[in-house]
């Protein structure tokens, strides 16, 4: 129970990796706020948290909107009493753009807003509170796509490298205040995010036309991951628990890859 007495906010916590982080943190004793556009699946995750004996709050939030973020933090302080951990997990993929000229301005704007600008907005809003308390943990979910310079989804790869760079900038600035800021770079996970990507690949790439989306995903896992197995939301959840725990008090400014060895 490494997070007993702590309150965590997880953006994009309604499904996929975010849900995995929420449940791992609740299992370790944290009360959790789930901030997501989708309130119905978020409510189901909140019920799972409550079944573990912890408190849960669902806040409908668009992480690209400053006013939503302020309202989120105000409500969590009011209903759960404090904020100890902020996990910036909400994110979207971009359509595969190979060559990059396939991408549109709208692809770039949307991916930048959800994946990068949102992290700036939440960090800006939480920093004064964490500085006053001389404590706090920020965990940003980046991706192997950032460090690999993956050519498949240019705006997505650039956005995730942006998250890693911004993580280090904020970590440097907040370190003297006792605040830890780290990123996690997940590898390849069978969430709605990857399912949509695989469906798109089946429809648009003749190389994958005879495969099911799941077979496309498995072929990528085999081709790319040295350990030859997919990652799970719990893999990312336990890494987030570690970064939120007292055991990680001297870990800051890092990009922890949980990727079966892709980036090494
Ligand atoms: P997902 O699509 O399954 O879930 C994303 C969640 O974010 C959803 O609940 C969605 O409603 C929410 N969301 C999207 N836009 C939002 C917004 N503007 N405001 C609030 N919530 C919003 O995706 P996932 O696979 O669980 O990915 C979670 C994070 O992990 C993302 O940042 C993604 O880039 C990253 N990631 C995923 C993989 C993978 O293989 N699945 C790999 C590396 C990194």
Q: Kindly state the average pLDDT of the residues 195-212.
A: 93
Q: What percent of the chain has pLDDT over 70?
A: 100
| pLDDT tens track for 71-119 | 999 999 999 999 999 999 999 998 776 788 888 999 999 999 999 999 9
Give the C-alpha separation, 44 to 122, whole Å.
Answer: 24
Ligand 1 binding site (Cβ under 6 Å of any ligand atom): 11-12, 14-18, 36-38, 61-64, 89-92, 114, 141, 143, 186, 188-189, 191-194
- pLDDT for the residue numbered 50: 98
Q: State the angle between helix axes of 66-80 and 118-133 in degrees (0 to 180), rounded to the nearest 10.
A: 40
pLDDT at 165 over 80: yes
C-beta atoms surrounding 143 within 10 Å:
29
Dihedral angle computed from the Cα positions of residues 114, 115, 121 and 124, in that order, rounded to the nearest 10 degrees: 170
Q: What percent of the chain has pLDDT over 90?
A: 93
C-beta atoms surrounding 81 within 10 Å:
11
Among 48, 50, 42, CA closest to 18: 42
Asked if 56 contacts 50 with a C-beta cutoff of 8 angstroms, the reply is yes
Which residue's C-alpha comes closest to atom 34 of ligand 1? 91
Is 156 one of the annotated active-site residues of the chain?
A: yes
| pLDDT tens track for 234-260 | 999 999 999 999 999 999 999 999 999
- pLDDT for the residue numbered 102: 86
- pLDDT for the residue numbered 100: 87
């Amino acid at each position: 129970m490494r997070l007993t007495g702590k309150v965590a906010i997880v953006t994009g916590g309604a499904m996929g990796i975010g849900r995995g982080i929420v449940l791992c943190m609740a299992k370790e004793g944290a009360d959790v706020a789930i901030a997501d556009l989708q309130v119905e699946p978020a409510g189901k995750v909140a019920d799972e948290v409550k079944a573990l004996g912890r408190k849960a709050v669902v806040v409908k939030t668009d992480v690209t909107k400053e006013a939503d973020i302020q309202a989120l933090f105000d409500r969590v302080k009011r209903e759960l009493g404090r904020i100890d951990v902020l996990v910036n997990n909400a994110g979207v993929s971009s359509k595969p753009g190979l060559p990059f000229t396939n991408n549109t301005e709208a692809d770039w704007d949307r991916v930048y807003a959800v994946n990068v600008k949102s992290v700036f907005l939440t960090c800006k809003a939480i920093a004064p509170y964490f500085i006053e308390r001389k404590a706090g943990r920020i965990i940003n979910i980046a991706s192997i796509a950032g460090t690999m310079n993956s050519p498949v989804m240019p705006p997505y790869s650039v956005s995730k490298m942006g998250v890693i760079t911004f993580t280090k900038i904020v970590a440097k600035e907040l370190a003297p205040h006792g605040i830890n800021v780290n990123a996690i770079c997940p590898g390849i996970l069978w969430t709605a995010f990857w399912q949509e990507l695989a469906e798109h690949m089946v429809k648009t790439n003749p190389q994958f036309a005879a495969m099911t989306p799941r077979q496309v995903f498995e072929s990528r896992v085999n081709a790319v991951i040295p350990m030859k197995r997919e990652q799970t939301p719990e893999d990312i959840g336990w890494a987030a628990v570690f970064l939120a725990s007292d055991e990680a008090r001297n870990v800051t400014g890092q990009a922890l890859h949980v990727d079966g060895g892709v980036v090494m």
